[in-house]
Amino acid sequence: MKKPIIKVSTAGSSRERVNDSRRRFLKTGGIALVGTSLLMYGCDVDENETFNTADLHGEDSKGRKVFNLGKGDFGILNYAYVLEQLEAAFYTNVLDGAYFAGAVAEERLILEDLYKHEVIHREFFKTVLSTIRPSTDVLPDLEFDFTSIDFNSRDSVLATARLLEDTGVAAYNGAGPLLENATYLLLAGKIVSVEARHAAAIRSIYLSDPTAFAGDDIIDGNGLDLAFDPQTVLNAVEETGLIVTKIIGRNLPKG
């Protein structure tokens, strides 16, 4: 990741200052994850943990590839890897689309930063999972279907980005309490802070309401971000049709 660019200016419009603040806001979030890999490699999941291997591999009645995420902390890490693969694949397509090519500079910079962060998250989980379990237990590269998204349309791209980022925040919030390993919990806390910055940045450029970053649709009555359990998130993601691979999470921990 390239170093943050610090601009010094004695004058400038409020719009320019807002744009620069958004970019630095995202940069800080990305930096927060640097070094986290050093925490993970010294940690192992419970060696006594076993998997229900039914449906671990194969195809369902619709001919879709099937993968069982497993159980315990490792299953939760596989679950997070699902979300990071989805977000990384989405932003890869965004950067290849006509909307991004013609977007204003501010939006291009934000979307490019989000793309880089999500690719880092995806590769991070892939590496870590592969070091603590056999490759057969690690979530494979997923198959996606983005035909429902018009990557030439600003509204379609930003609406989807908003949905994915808001869901990602709620997913990490819901999965955190299910983790038993304190190091994994610390990791989840670092990543959810990055995802929250993503969600705030997308909302700030897509929605006209200046308070949208903490809208009533994502903040509960106690002023806290929403938290969804893994199965709720997996069901919602499946309903979007964006992931073709059938993901089974029935063995994941439950609150």
User: Is the Cβ–Cβ distance between 190 and 32 less than 8 Å?
Assistant: yes
**Mean pLDDT computed over every residue of the chain:** 79
Asked whether residue 242 carries a pLDDT value surpassing 60, the answer given is yes
Domain-wise residue ranges, the chain: 14-248
According to the model, what pLDDT value does residue 10 have? 32
CA 166 to each of CA 100, 108, 117, 203: distance values in angstroms, whole numbers, following the listed order: 21, 20, 16, 10
Instruction: Check residues 58 and 73 and name the one with the higher pLDDT.
Output: 73
According to the model, what pLDDT value does residue 123 have? 94
Asked whether residue 132 carries a pLDDT value surpassing 60, the answer given is yes
CB atoms within 10 A of CB 172: 27
According to the model, what pLDDT value does residue 50 have? 44
Say how far apart CA 10 and CA 171 lie, in whole Å.
42
The amino acid at 90:
F
Closest Cα partner for 203 from 166, 174, 173, 168? 166
Spell out where 18-168 has E strands: 66-68
Q: 96-99: long-range contacts (C-beta < 8 A, 24 or more apart)?
A: 96/151, 97/151, 97/152, 97/157, 98/151, 98/152, 99/151, 99/152, 99/153, 99/154, 99/156, 99/157
pLDDT band, residue 4 (cuts 50/70/90): very low
Closest Cα partner for 201 from 82, 113, 118? 113
Asked whether residue 7 carries a pLDDT value surpassing 60, the answer given is no
According to the model, what pLDDT value does residue 30 have? 47
According to the model, what pLDDT value does residue 196 have? 85
In this predicted structure, which of 65-74, 107-116, 151-160, 186-195 has the lowest mean pLDDT?
186-195
Asked whether residue 155 carries a pLDDT value surpassing 50, the answer given is yes
DSSP states of 181-249: -HHHHHHHHHHHHHHHHHHHHHHHHH-S-TTGGG-TTTB-TTS-B----HHHHHHHHHHHT-B-SEEE-
Tens digits of per-residue pLDDT, 76-131? 999 999 999 999 999 999 999 999 999 999 999 999 999 999 999 999 999 989 99
The amino acid at 201:
A
For the residues 62-78, what does the mean pLDDT come to?
Answer: 90
Residue with token string 């977000």: 87
pLDDT band, residue 68 (cuts 50/70/90): very high
Say how far apart CA 114 and CA 131 lie, in whole Å.
26
Torsion sign across C-alpha atoms 164, 165, 170, 176: positive
**Most confident of the ranges 36-50, 165-179, 212-226:** 165-179
By CB atoms closer than 10 A (0-12, 13-18, 19+), residue 84 is buried
Instruction: Check residues 59 and 6 and name the one with the higher pLDDT.
Output: 59
For 127, the token pair is 């590496």
CA 143 to each of CA 52, 98, 120: distance values in angstroms, whole numbers, following the listed order: 23, 23, 19
